């Protein structure tokens, strides 16, 4: 029995990048891949906990984690840029009492 993982698994069934500011997210749900991956990394959540907290199937969670591993640099750069935009908006529009 051959247990090799195919090179280049097509995750488009689970991951969408065409909407939601081109941030990779769960298709039809708008839960960012980065949010799932960072919750696993920073909070130590396992697959079942991630699925429960984000109301996803375990397959969707696994697809997100795999996609993150394959696109880590791109996603981390997108998230850093997104956070910089949020920080700038906060500075511009927060009250300065």
SS3 category, 74 = helix
**Number of domains comprising the chain:** 1
Domain assignment of residue 68, yes or no: yes
What per-residue confidence (pLDDT) applies to 53?
Answer: 98
Separation in Å, CA 24 to CA 5, 34, 70: 23, 8, 12
Domain assignment of residue 10, yes or no: no
Domain assignment of residue 95, yes or no: no
Q: What is the pTM of this model?
A: 0.82
State the Cα–Cα distance between residues 72 and 50, nearest whole angstrom: 18
Q: Give every residue of the chain whose pLDDT is below 50, as ranges.
A: 3
Q: Which domain holds residue 31?
A: 15-90
SS3 category, 32 = strand
Domain assignment of residue 5, yes or no: no
What per-residue confidence (pLDDT) applies to 18?
Answer: 86
């Amino acid at each position: 029995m051959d247990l090799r993982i195919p090179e280049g698994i097509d995750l488009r069934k689970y991951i969408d990048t065409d909407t939601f500011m081109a941030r990779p997210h769960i298709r039809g749900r708008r839960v960012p891949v980065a949010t799932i991956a960072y919750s696993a990394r920073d909070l130590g959540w396992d697959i079942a906990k991630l699925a429960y907290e984000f109301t996803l199937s375990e397959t969707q969670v696994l697809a997100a984690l795999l996609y993150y591993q394959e696109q880590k640099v791109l996603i981390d750069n997108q998230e850093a840029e997104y956070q910089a935009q949020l920080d700038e908006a906060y500075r511009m529009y927060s009250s300065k009492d």
